[in-house]
A and B are shown apart, each in its own frame.
Chain A
Amino acid sequence: MYEIEETKSEIQTKTVTGADELVVNMGPQHPSTHGVLRVILHLDGETVTDLDCDIGYLHRGTEKIGENITYSMFIPYTDRLDYIAAPSNNLAWVTAVEKFFDWEIPIRANYIRSMVGEFSRIASHLLWLATHALDIGAMTVFLWCFREREMVLDLFETAFGGRLTVNAFRLGGLEQDVPAKFLTLAQEFIDIFPSRIQDYETLLTNNRIWLQRTRGVGVISGEDAVDFGLSGPLLRASGVNYDLRRAKPYAAYPYLDFVVPTGENGDIYDRYIVRIEELRQSVKIIQQCLEQLPDGPVSCKTPRTIKPPVGEIYHSIENPKGEFGFYIVSDGSETPYRVRIRPPSFVNLAALKKLCVGGLLADVVAVIGSIDIVLGECDR
Chain B
Amino acid sequence: MADESVQGENSEVDEETSDLNPEEDSKKDVGRDILDVLEAKFPGSTFDAEAFSNFEDELSITLKPDSLEEVALFLKDHEIFQFTMLVDLTAVHFPNDDLPLHVLYQLFSIEKNRRVRLKVRLQEEQSIPTVSNLWSSANWMEREVFDLFGIDFSGHPDLRRILMPDDWGSHPMLKSYPLEGKGERVYDKPQRKEIGE
Q: Hey, which bits of chain A sit against chain B, CB under 8 A?
A: 1-2, 4-8, 11, 55-56, 59, 61, 63-64, 68, 99-100, 224, 226-229, 231, 240, 242, 247-248, 311-314, 316, 323, 325, 327, 329, 337-338, 340, 342, 346-347, 349-351, 354, 379-380
Contact = CB atoms under 8 A, between A and B. Distances in A.
A337 B92 contact: yes
9 contacts: A4-B161, A226-B110, A231-B87, A242-B110, A247-B113, A248-B113, A312-B60, A314-B106, A329-B92
Nearest to A337: B92
Nearest to B138: A229
B141 interface: yes
A59 B163 contact: yes
A342 B172 contact: no
B115 A1 contact: no
> A228, A325, A379: which has the most chain B beta carbons within 10 Å?
A228
A327 B90 contact: yes
B110 A240 contact: yes
Given A226-B110, A311-B52, A314-B106, A55 B87 contact: no
A4 B166 contact: yes
B195 interface: no
Interface in B75-107: 84-88, 90, 92-93, 104, 106
Interface of B: 50, 52-53, 55, 57-58, 60, 84-88, 90, 92-93, 104, 106, 110, 113, 115, 117, 125, 135-137, 139-141, 144, 146, 148, 150, 152, 159-167, 170-173, 177, 179, 188-189
A1 B125 contact: yes
Nearest to B140: A350
Contact of B137 (A6, A229, A329): A229
Contacts of A6: 160, 166
A64 B113 contact: no
Given A59-B164, A325-B87, A227 B136 contact: yes
Q: Please report whether the interface of chain B is mostly helix, strand, loop or mixed according to DSSP.
A: loop
Contacts of B104: 327
B166 A314 contact: no
A351 B135 CA distance: 12
B88 A314 contact: yes
Contacts of A247: 113
A350 B136 CA distance: 9
B136 A228 contact: yes
Contacts of B85: 226-227, 229
A4 B58 CA distance: 35
Contact of B53 (A55, A99, A347, A349): A99
Contact of B166 (A7, A61, A329, A342): A7
B87 A379 contact: no
